[in-house]
Amino acid sequence: MFKEERTQSTFEWHMLGDVKLGRPNLGANMPVDVYRLMQFTLRDEMIRSLGVPATDEIFFNAGKKAGQEFLKNVVEKQTNLSEFIEQVQINLKQLKIGILRVEKADADNLEFTLTVAEDLDCSGLPVIDEETCIYDEGFIAGMLLEQTGRHFTVKEIDCWCSGDRVCRFDIKPEIKE
């Protein structure tokens, strides 16, 4: 019998299945609205049931795992940071996830400010008083962890939902205490 309870993530890329085999008529593409329908109703129900802090932690951790798997299976680890950023930019745009730009970079200290335009999660949403890109924070942290072997603090500082027209993220290595 299949048992779903677990304390560690068991997700791996292959669990996404063979979309070409499973959707021979409908294909791999679907409207952004349908993705957001799942994401926002799930988030809404989780907040109602678990509260904001627990929901944010779950969304961040899910994004982090997704970022690690994305890097391993789509982008692949690169030999240097410039190649890494370039490959992430290419793949995010090709997959229509968003348009990544480096606004500021201190490569020696691994501190960055990145923007994502036309973000899958929030571009076009109304201005609200909620953070919506917590999954994205985790996704970026996961890619960086997989690329560098280091943990990062990723914090969204501007968002479409706060009135900006890009999502802007401050990124710094985590400091061990």
How many Å apart are CA 96 and CA 139, to the nearest integer?
Answer: 15
Instruction: Divide the 177 residues of the chain into consecutive groups of 10 and give the mean pLDDT of each group.
Output: 78 89 91 93 96 96 97 93 95 96 94 95 87 93 96 94 92 87
**For residue 55, what are the contacts with CB-CB under 8 A and spacing of at least 6?**
43, 46, 47
What's the confidence (pLDDT) of residue 177?
A: 64
What's the confidence (pLDDT) of residue 131?
A: 76
Task: Report helix, strand or coil for 175.
Answer: coil
**For residue 173, what are the contacts with CB-CB under 8 A and spacing of at least 6?**
109, 110, 111, 150, 151, 152, 153
Domain positions in the chain: 13-173
What's the confidence (pLDDT) of residue 26?
A: 93
What's the confidence (pLDDT) of residue 155?
A: 96
What's the confidence (pLDDT) of residue 176?
A: 74
Domain 13-173 CATH superfamily: Trafficking protein particle complex subunit 3 (3.30.1380.20)
What's the confidence (pLDDT) of residue 63?
A: 97
Report pTM.
0.92
CA angle 34, 37, 39 (to 5 degrees): 110
